Structure 1
Amino acid sequence: MNPNGMESGGEGSGVPREVPGSYGVPYVSAIRDRLDFYYNQGQDKYFESRVHKYGSTVVRINVPPGPFMARDPRVVAVLDAKSFPVLFDVTKVEKKDLFTGTYMPSTALTGGYRVCSYLDPAEPTHAKVKHMLFSLLASRKDAFIPAFRSHFSSLLATVDSQLLLAGKSDFNKLNDATSFEFIGDAYFGVLPSASDLGATGPAKAAKWLIWQLHPLVTLGLPRILEEPLLHTFHLPPFLVKGDYKALYNYFFAAAAKALDDAEGLGLKRDEACHNLLFATVFNSYGGLKVLLPGVLSRVAAAGEKFHRRLAKEVRAAVADAGGKVTMAALEKMELTKSAVWEALRLDPPVKFQYGRAKTDLSIESHDAVFAVKKGEMLFGYQPCATKDPRVFGATAAEFVGDRFVGEEGSKLLRYVYWSNGRETDSPSVANKQCPGKNLVVLVGRLLVVELFLRYDTFTADVGTDLLGTKLEFTAVTKATSGPEFST
């Protein structure tokens, strides 16, 4: 591919060849590779070093967690923009029980059900659950913008007061509580804090998330502790049973209308509730915990000149809409949309994708065609694909806020893969693309809008936490001009 995303010539066709790479010595090599992945190299370098070693972006490697938790750590990794989309093609790959890859959390964490994320589209329940989610999103579409503005304007007011008192403000901590409230309000019109959950919802949700994701994370503890605690055996589900039950009770009451509709689709009420809880807490809430700090960190690093471009665009569009933030106004904000897509390209909320070959396959990279046998596990590390210099050129690893602006920029959207599909594709009951894909982009845009209606520019300290980016505001410059805006 050339930097404009058009296919170039090369050797990407012909007789399929063997996939290079090695799994090494059983158990021993998988454990060594896991240590490289978590501690010695880190994720990016782990994959980049294998690409360099074997001279190929399609390679055989071991991926975490490995023994003794994984069913089989051996995968064929697709690590460029051209080979990666095979993972989206459900005519070629099966998605059954592969949401978290080579291991699967106990169904005791989800009420005994295999929820939608672990279902292949060929399974009848998959279509029913996705229909339920599509119906919920459609029925609440008018609630998203006002709910977001209400909750996140309050968050930014707290940022202002914390900066005044302490000179810094922890966005992640505020976002964890605010996003949980926003989702309950936007999806169901019922604030979690007004239910029996009280203020405990975010902590219970985070604990439940860790129980499912611990094989793929580190806590920053010495490896002699983390390896046996997080990466070798599953944490026992009974330790989070009470937290999950409290979350379930909230959803069972708050989502009564959605559960009524689900029964009309042929789902059992409790199965629908467990699925709704998972989609809302794991996918939506877990996604916002990663997405929003990631968007802010990229925009913060872009600097004041870029901030003023965003502020000018945002304020002009909102002023044209009579001082209101509307969908029509948001659609006029081309730079704002581009900035959010660029953040999603660089920092996808979910970095790993998996699929099992349904038949013998030929997988094409930029430079060759590779033979994969039926039943082999395919794995994609998304940042390698979405930072592919053969598509995005010399700036592939950099944040370019206006990358997707204009006709030429829009052509590159087909290489933005964060939603388990191309950004130019749409989720359906027949694929595994995120049903809330458009809502995620909307929420990212709304955060940028809320920020630059309030501030001309801001600075932040950026680091990492358990799930991704950690951000602390260090200074803001309040907007000094512009029309009055309504909420």
Structure 2
Amino acid sequence: MASSDTKLPLKPIPGSYGVPFFGPIRDRHDYFYHQGRDKFFADRVRKYNSTVIRTNMPPGPFISSNPRVIALLDGVSFAILFDNSKVEKRDVLDGTFMPSTSYTGGYRACAFQDTSEPSHALIKRFYLNLLASKHDTFIPLFRNNLNDHFADLEDKLAGKSGKASFNSSVGAATFNFLFRLITDKDPTETKIGSNGPNLVQTWLAAQLAPLATLGLPKIFNYLEDFLIRTFPIPAWTVKSSYNKLYDGMSHAGAAVLDEAERVGIKRDEACHNLVFTLGFNAQGGLINQFPILIKWLGLSGEGLHKQLADEIRSVVRDEGGVNLRALDKMTLTKSVVYEALRIEPAVPFQYAKAREDLVVQSHDAAYEIKKGEMIFGYQPFATKDPKIFENAEEFVGHRFVGPDGEKLLKHVLWSNGPETDEPTPDNKQCPAKNLVVLLCRLYLVEFFLRYETFTFDFKPLVLGPNVTIKSLTKASSF
């Protein structure tokens, strides 16, 4: 029996997995087609009067060997997912199933490894050292890529359609930045050419198809469900795309791979891990995070735009340019980035298995979880917990300004850990956590040095919004 020093009442975990085989199918139809993601969880919280429940998570049979999870749907219970002494994260990155290692050259990428595996610390330390060695490159390299991005947006707006796809434009800029950061070379110098984002999206889509929906008319829902959640898409269908990414990294990143070998990582394993990091962790995250940032910025209106522009231009003027010291002084800009990361985290799911019998606490009760049970955390419910955040469903740009606001940062969890923690070789927090925050701040700085405000449309997608820029109002010189 697990022990706990909590004085909260110990309760059985409510919820139901339903009839074997049919229960998971019923739940995934509710999740994808009948209710949608948020309503799926909210209805069950109301039904069972609990933020810790039992349910099935997609994809279910046939792809998942066991779709049963214990779902954590508040900001207190969610914290157990970061305690690596109590939970294991071996092969649970994508949830209740794992794509074939054929997608990654036969290797289990570091993101799928548990902290107890020696290779996890070795590879993650390699990542952290690589990022540290590039520290002085972040700002000038990203600013250079943003110049191309903003020029592209303006060209598209001046064209016949009078609008510009933000996602495709920022996706190209992000991929080019990341590839150059790792290799010191442009992807156009390799087999990747200018197709990097498309190659990554093709490769990712095949792996993650069971977790997605195409948004087809309702009449096709059951056909779609059968086609993409009965049999996994074979890796050979996207082999050509992946090989171009691997070959590009192998040739352009020769110096980085030399260093990997020096620290004891096999050259091909290091290359497959770098491609995974470039495609899944970094590109797959950042290409969604920037549209999320722009979406909420746009919804907030011109008042916030003016406040940001005034702060950014004043600090840049006083500091004589854009640098780390200037970025650190922009308190509202920092807060807006944290608020975007809080209200709509680009990766909304966390999974782990209990290493031992344990007790997890919510605000109101304690619950026993048995060794080996799958634990699932839905991050948007944790980071919009009304018992932690006032007006939790609203985007409040100044939420994290000042001492009281800074105290809330421990509840911002987008990076697989609290914002107040740091990634280390011994935890599962994103190694590029600080870089992502820096790039989001830098994006806002570069945007409001050029523009006063903007208009846009967006459509919600499974992994973030699809944003279309309709107009950009240029700033006068300052």
1:372 is aligned, of 363, 366, 369, to: 369
Question: 2:222 is matched with which residue?
Answer: 224
Once the two structures are superposed, the pairs formed by residues 136-151 of structure 1 within 5 Å of their partners are: 136-151=130-145
Moved more, 367-376 or 161-170: 161-170
8 Å contact kept, 1:12–1:366: no
Question: 2:92 is matched with which residue?
Answer: 98
Question: 2:469 is matched with which residue?
Answer: 473
SS at match of 2:467: strand
How far, CA to CA, are the matches of 2:158 and 2:106 in structure 1?
48
Per-residue deviation, residues 224-260 of structure 1 (Å, max 9, x unmatched): 3321222221001111112111111111112222211
Per-residue deviation, residues 455-485 of structure 1 (Å, max 9, x unmatched): 1111111212353211111122111241xxx
Once the two structures are superposed, the pairs formed by residues 62-461 of structure 1 within 5 Å of their partners are: 62-165=56-159, 166-221=161-216, 222-322=220-320, 324-393=321-390, 395-461=391-457
Shift of 1:16: 2.3
8 Å contact kept, 2:450–2:474: yes
Shift of 1:154: 1.7
8 Å contact kept, 1:86–1:92: yes
SS at match of 1:65: coil
Q: Which amino acid aligns with 2:408?
A: L
SS at match of 1:261: helix
Question: 1:4 is matched with which residue?
Answer: none
How far, CA to CA, are the matches of 1:154 and 1:356 in structure 2?
44
1:40 is aligned, of 12, 34, 38, to: 34
How far, CA to CA, are the matches of 1:326 and 1:38 in structure 2?
44
How far, CA to CA, are the matches of 2:21 and 2:191 in structure 1?
46
How far, CA to CA, are the matches of 1:458 and 1:203 in structure 2?
27
Q: Which amino acid aligns with 1:168?
A: K
| Distance verdict in 2 for CA 1:174–1:401, change over 3 Å | same
How far, CA to CA, are the matches of 2:210 and 2:7 in structure 1?
37
8 Å contact kept, 1:193–1:201: no
Per-residue deviation, residues 299-334 of structure 1 (Å, max 9, x unmatched): 111110100000011111111221x21111100111
How far, CA to CA, are the matches of 1:111 and 1:164 in structure 2?
43
Q: CA RMSD in A?
A: 1.3
How far, CA to CA, are the matches of 1:13 and 1:110 in structure 2?
47
8 Å contact kept, 1:188–1:255: yes
Moved more, 438-447 or 169-178: 169-178
Q: Which amino acid aligns with 2:241?
A: D
How far, CA to CA, are the matches of 1:75 and 1:252 in structure 2?
39
Shift of 1:56: 0.2
How far, CA to CA, are the matches of 1:365 and 1:305 in structure 2?
37
How far, CA to CA, are the matches of 2:214 and 2:158 in structure 1?
31
Q: Which amino acid aligns with 2:184?
A: G
8 Å contact kept, 2:73–2:378: yes
SS at match of 1:389: coil
**Structure 2 gap ranges (5+):** none
Question: 2:44 is matched with which residue?
Answer: 50
TM-score where L is the length of structure 2: 0.96
How far, CA to CA, are the matches of 1:13 and 1:252 in structure 2?
56
Question: 2:14 matched to 1:20?
Answer: yes
How far, CA to CA, are the matches of 2:132 and 2:318 in structure 1?
26
SS at match of 1:390: coil
Shift of 1:200: 2.2
SS at match of 1:104: coil
How far, CA to CA, are the matches of 2:64 and 2:354 in structure 1?
18
- The total of aligned residue pairs comes to 470
How far, CA to CA, are the matches of 2:196 and 2:471 in structure 1?
30
How far, CA to CA, are the matches of 1:434 and 1:133 in structure 2?
10
Shift of 1:12: 6.8
TM-score where L is the length of structure 1: 0.94
Moved more, 423-432 or 169-178: 169-178
**Structure 1 gap ranges (5+):** 1-10, 483-487
How far, CA to CA, are the matches of 1:465 and 1:140 in structure 2?
33
User: Greater RCO between the two (CA within 8 Å, min separation 6)?
Assistant: 1
8 Å contact kept, 1:185–1:191: yes
